[in-house]
Structure 1
Amino acid sequence: MTGLPSAKMSTRRVRQSGNCPRAATIVATAILSIAIAGFSTPTAGASPLTEFYDAPVAAVDTATLGEVVRSLPVNSPKGFGLGFDIERILYRSTDTHDQPMVVSGYTMTPTAPWVGPGPRPVIAYAPGTSGMADRCAGSAVLGTVGSSPAILPLLLAGYRVVATDYQGLGTPGGHTYLNRVASGRALLDAARTADVEPTTPVVLFGYSEGGFASASAAELASTYAPELNVRGAYVGAPPADPTLNIDTLDNTRLGSAALFTVDGMINAYPERAAGIRDLFDSDGIAALDAAQNWCTTDPAATATVRTTELTRDGRPLTEQLSNPVLAEITETNTVGRIAPAMPVYLSHAVEDDTVPVEQSRTLLGRWRDLGADVTYREYDLPAIPVEGANHLPGSLAAYDDVMPWIAGLVRAGVELAGTTR
Structure 2
Amino acid sequence: MGNCVRAVMMVSAVMTVVAVSTPVASADSLRDFYDAPVPTIAAAAPGEVMRTKAVNSPKGFGLGFDIERILYRSTDTHDEPMIVSGYSMTPTAPWPGPGPRPVIAYAPGTSGMADRCAGSAVLGTVGSSPAILPLLLAGYRVVATDYQGLGTPGGHTYLNRLASGRALLDVARIADEDAPVVLYGYSEGGFASGAAAELAATYAPDLDIVGAYVGAPPADPTLNIDNLDNTTLGSAVLFAVDGMINAYPERAERIRSLFDSDGNAALDAAQNWCSTDPAAGDIVETSDLTRDGRPLAEQLGNPVFAEVTAVNTVGRIAPSMPVYLSHAVRDDTVPIEQSRTLLRRWQESGADVTYREYDFPALPVTGANHSPGALAAYADVLPWIADLVRES
State the match for 1:58 in structure 2. 39
Q: Which amino acid aligns with 1:201?
A: P
Contact 1:37 1:142 in 2 (8 A): no
CA distance in 1 between partners of 2:45 and 2:155 (Å) = 23
Instruction: Give the 3 Å change call, closer, same or farther, for CA 297–286 of structure 1 in structure 2.
Output: same
Residue 213 (str. 1) matches residue 195 (str. 2):
no
Superposed CA deviations along residues 144-164 of structure 1, whole A, max 9, x for unmatched, are: 565234311111100000000
State the match for 1:419 in structure 2. none
State the match for 2:3 in structure 1. 22
Q: Which of the numbers 111, 115, 120 marks the counterpart of 1:130?
A: 111
Q: Which amino acid aligns with 1:42?
A: V
Instruction: Give the 3 Å change call, closer, same or farther, for CA 238–153 of structure 1 in structure 2.
Output: same
Contact 1:354 1:388 in 2 (8 A): yes
Using structure 2 for the length normalisation, give the TM-score.
Answer: 0.97
- Measured after TM superposition, the shift of residue 74 of structure 1 is 1.3
CA distance in 2 between partners of 1:84 and 1:155 (Å) = 8
Contact 1:248 1:353 in 2 (8 A): yes
State the match for 1:321 in structure 2. 300
Residue 298 (str. 1) matches residue 298 (str. 2):
no
CA distance in 2 between partners of 1:266 and 1:302 (Å) = 22
| 3-state SS, counterpart of residue 246 of structure 1 | coil
State the match for 1:17 in structure 2. none
- Measured after TM superposition, the shift of residue 326 of structure 1 is 1.0
| 3-state SS, counterpart of residue 376 of structure 1 | strand
Alignment of structure 1 residues 170-185 onto 2, 5 Å: 170-185=151-166
CA distance in 1 between partners of 2:264 and 2:201 (Å) = 39
Alignment of structure 1 residues 34-53 onto 2, 5 Å: 34-36=15-17, 38-39=19-20, 40-42=22-24, 46-53=27-34
State the match for 1:14 in structure 2. none
Residue 377 (str. 1) matches residue 356 (str. 2):
yes
Q: Which amino acid aligns with 1:86?
A: I
Instruction: Give the 3 Å change call, closer, same or farther, for CA 140–188 of structure 1 in structure 2.
Output: same
Instruction: Give the 3 Å change call, closer, same or farther, for CA 228–35 of structure 1 in structure 2.
Output: farther
CA distance in 2 between partners of 1:84 and 1:145 (Å) = 14
Q: Which of the numbers 314, 338, 349 marks the counterpart of 1:335?
A: 314
Percentage of matched positions with identical amino acids: 76
Q: Which amino acid aligns with 1:404?
A: P
Q: Which amino acid aligns with 2:367?
A: G
Using structure 1 for the length normalisation, give the TM-score.
Answer: 0.91
Q: Which of the numbers 239, 249, 258 marks the counterpart of 2:218?
A: 239
Q: Which amino acid aligns with 2:391?
A: A
Residue 89 (str. 1) matches residue 67 (str. 2):
no
| 3-state SS, counterpart of residue 293 of structure 1 | coil
Superposed CA deviations along residues 55-108 of structure 1, whole A, max 9, x for unmatched, are: 111111111110110100112221121111000000000000000100000000
CA distance in 2 between partners of 1:243 and 1:184 (Å) = 19
Q: Which amino acid aligns with 1:48?
A: S
- Measured after TM superposition, the shift of residue 380 of structure 1 is 0.5
- Measured after TM superposition, the shift of residue 42 of structure 1 is 3.0
Residue 399 (str. 1) matches residue 378 (str. 2):
yes
CA distance in 2 between partners of 1:291 and 1:283 (Å) = 12
State the match for 2:95 in structure 1. 114
Instruction: Extract unaligned runs of 5+ from structure 2.
Output: none
Residue 252 (str. 1) matches residue 226 (str. 2):
no
Contact 1:308 1:314 in 2 (8 A): yes
Instruction: Give the 3 Å change call, closer, same or farther, for CA 146–348 of structure 1 in structure 2.
Output: farther
Q: Which amino acid aligns with 1:402?
A: V
Contact 1:95 1:181 in 2 (8 A): yes
Structure with the larger RCO, 1 or 2 (CA within 8 Å, 6+ apart):
1
Residue 390 (str. 1) matches residue 369 (str. 2):
yes
State the match for 1:271 in structure 2. 250
State the number of aligned residues: 391
CA distance in 1 between partners of 2:332 and 2:114 (Å) = 24
Contact 2:148 2:167 in 1 (8 A): yes
CA distance in 1 between partners of 2:360 and 2:269 (Å) = 35
Contact 1:31 1:144 in 2 (8 A): no
Instruction: Give the 3 Å change call, closer, same or farther, for CA 389–29 of structure 1 in structure 2.
Output: same
CA distance in 1 between partners of 2:379 and 2:138 (Å) = 13
Superposed CA deviations along residues 311-365 of structure 1, whole A, max 9, x for unmatched, are: 0011111111111111110000000000000000000000100000000000000
